[in-house]
Amino acid sequence: MAMRAFRKFMIRALLLGIAAFLIVPMVIPFESSGTLTNVQAAGKGEQFATVNGLQVHIATEDYSGPSKADVPQFILLHGFGASTHSWRFVMKSLSTQGDVLAYDRPAFGYTERPTSWSGANPYGFEGHFELISALIEKYGKGQDIILGGHSAGGQIAGEYARLNPTMVQRLILVDPAVYTTGTGTSWIGALRVIPQIDRLGPFLVRGVASSGKDLLQRSYYDKAQLTDEVADGYFKPLQIKGWERAFWEFSTAPRDNQLAQNLSSIVQPTLLITGKYDVVVPTADTEKLATVIKNNKLVVVDKSGHLPQEEQPGVFADAVISWVKATNKVLP
């Protein structure tokens, strides 16, 4: 009798658990921790451009050299959890070689964070490739394009350059997350077909705020450079209302790509830069890329972790400028 009663209890508990899973997520209201629009969070003086119907936050530096003729256009993609903030120390130096544009990838920084769209998912690779093409068309002005990407942005930049060899003339990959991140669609994406999981998504990703602090700590070799002001630049966008839903959309977006298997087909001159003490994307990963990508130059930045453009901006800029001048001479 006791065992029979226990089984009845367990069955009831299981049924109640299933009912709770099916019903509770659908009735719990979600309130974003953010309270501001993307424009309000960005503050006064920030630049936005409408590209493919999306309000994109950008940072620009016009060419500052002696002659405007035939200068390239830099387009810079930041890494996971970052924004144009991560390029702030090097943009002016790079402008001595060409026009410079950095932008916030959808789901990050102050770029608009849509929750519905027509066409390609703006948070996935296809949608991002369309955004890069539109930025090139809008800002390229017939110039040679130097596409640069850091970390996860490096994976996007590399795959775009591989698939669009006539759109990009040179490529800069900074601690690129090619081997570390892998390929394919996030497995989480398969779960969102369950309405309850999709409803819970924004709750599930709230922990990115605390995990992002850990990632930022690991990204710096010299922890003294990671000041409150620097950290605030990374986490201020979490003031945007609805950032959790947008990040859930990003987490479940399709990211199919074959970059890691086809690195040898990259035809552009490529500059590879890595921090000597990078533990986020191991330095050895970038060094491995140098054995596969055909026309490359590898620079290992001493006293730097995952963010050489922030920890050693002078060394970083000098390496890029030297490479740009060298490749200017061999481009058709």
| pLDDT above 60: residue 22 | no
- Tokens standing for 259? 């970059």
Region of residue 32 (phi > 0: left; psi between -120 and 50: alpha; otherwise: beta): beta
Q: Where are the domains of the chain?
A: 47-328
The residue-averaged pLDDT of 253-280 equals: 95
pLDDT for residue 193: 53
| pLDDT above 60: residue 24 | no
pLDDT for residue 196: 59
Strand order in the sheet with 54-61: 47-51, 54-61, 99-103, 73-77, 145-150, 170-174, 270-275, 296-301
Q: How many CA atoms lie within 13 A of 142 on its CB side?
A: 3
Inter-CA distances, 105 with 111, 179, 326, Å? 7, 21, 30
pLDDT category at 302 given cuts 50, 70, 90 is very high
The residue-averaged pLDDT of 131-142 equals: 95
- The residue with tokens 């602090």 is 213
Distance between CA 206 and CA 44 in Å, rounded?
27
The residue-averaged pLDDT of 96-118 equals: 95
The residue-averaged pLDDT of 173-200 equals: 66
Which fold does the domain 47-328 belong to in CATH?
A: Rossmann fold (3.40.50)
DSSP state of 133: H
Q: What is the pLDDT of residues 286-301, one digit of tens each?
A: 999 999 999 999 999 9
Q: Global pTM?
A: 0.87
Helix (H) or strand (E) holding 260: none
pLDDT category at 252 given cuts 50, 70, 90 is confident
pLDDT for residue 169: 97
* 3-state secondary structure at position 119: coil
- Tokens standing for 104? 């916030």
| pLDDT above 80: residue 118 | yes
Q: What is the pLDDT of residues 49-74, one digit of tens each?
A: 999 999 999 999 999 988 777 899 99
